[in-house]
Amino acid sequence: MPAGGATLRIDARNDDPDPGRDMDYIEGFLFTESQATPGQARFSEKATETGATVTPGGSLVIPLTVPLGTVLLSAVADAPGGQDLVLTVRNPLGAVVASSDRTLGPEVAQVLSVVPGTYTLQVVNHGTSAAPTTLYAIPTVDLTLLPRTGPNSASGKIPRLER
């Protein structure tokens, strides 16, 4: 993309005859840049996907150890039948750091400036019927925060001072 920005256009077209299938979801955008190394992205995202059928009143609990350099943790819980889900994200100390309880799904929760450790993602079915649920966990890693490797990186040794 040239410096100064650009325009992103998304056209969503629905040709399904079923009027109940008139929704589109965009889970997010990731724009990357790196001025230090041309052609190399600054951020990386690798989503994990977990699926389960959650009984009424039941829950799906997933522990997630965030990668080193994570600056944003996004969680998305979706059930195709529009069931009443609640999504909660707890930090490594067990404190709730994000939650989502919308009338219509999907539920989306995000945590900025993530501390290292294992987070707990929980989806609770508050509906009256079983909910086939998919939970996506997407850590955004800032590659500039990772230790450098290769011939020009620091060896990890303390430099010796000479007189």
More confident residue, 144 or 20: 144
pLDDT, tens digit (0-9, with 9 covering 90-100), for 86-142: 999 999 999 999 999 987 778 999 999 889 999 999 999 999 999 999 999 999 999
Query: What integer pLDDT is reported at residue 110 of this predicted model?
Result: 95
Q: Which residue has the higher pLDDT, 123 or 18?
A: 123
Cβ proximity of 83 and 129 under 8 Å: yes
In whole angstroms, give the CA distance from residue 19 to residue 117.
44
Q: Kindly state the DSSP code that residue 115 receives in the 8-state scheme.
A: P
Helix (H/G/I), strand (E/B), else coil: 11: coil
Q: How far apart are CA 107 and CA 84, in angstroms?
A: 9
Cβ atoms of 139 and 113 closer than 8 Å:
no
Q: In one letter, which amino acid is 149?
A: T
Average pLDDT over all residues of the chain: 81
Q: Which amino acid is at 69?
A: G
Determine the 3-state secondary structure of 123 from DSSP: strand
3-state secondary structure 55-83: CCCCEEEEEEECCCCEEEEEEEEECCCCC
Identify residue 11 by its one-letter amino acid code.
D
Proportion of the chain above pLDDT 90, given as a percent: 50
The Cα–Cα gap between 100 and 89 comes to 9
Least trusted range by pLDDT, from 22-26, 42-46, 57-61, 108-112: 22-26
Give the single-character DSSP code of 101.
Answer: -
Q: pTM surpassing 0.95?
A: no
Q: How many Å apart are CA 118 and CA 92, to the nearest integer?
A: 5
If we measure between CA atoms, which residue out of 69, 123, 81 comes closest to residue 98?
Answer: 123
Query: 45-144: what fold?
Result: Jelly Rolls (2.60.120)
> Does residue 43 contact residue 142 with C-beta atoms inside 8 Å?
yes
148 pLDDT more than 70:
yes
| pLDDT class of 4 with cuts at 50, 70, 90 | low
> By mean pLDDT, which of 59-63, 137-141, 146-150 is the weakest?
146-150
Instruction: Please check the confidence at residue 3 and state whether its pLDDT lies above 70.
Output: no
Give the pLDDT score at 153: 53
User: What would the mean pLDDT of 66-73 be, rounded to a whole number?
Assistant: 94
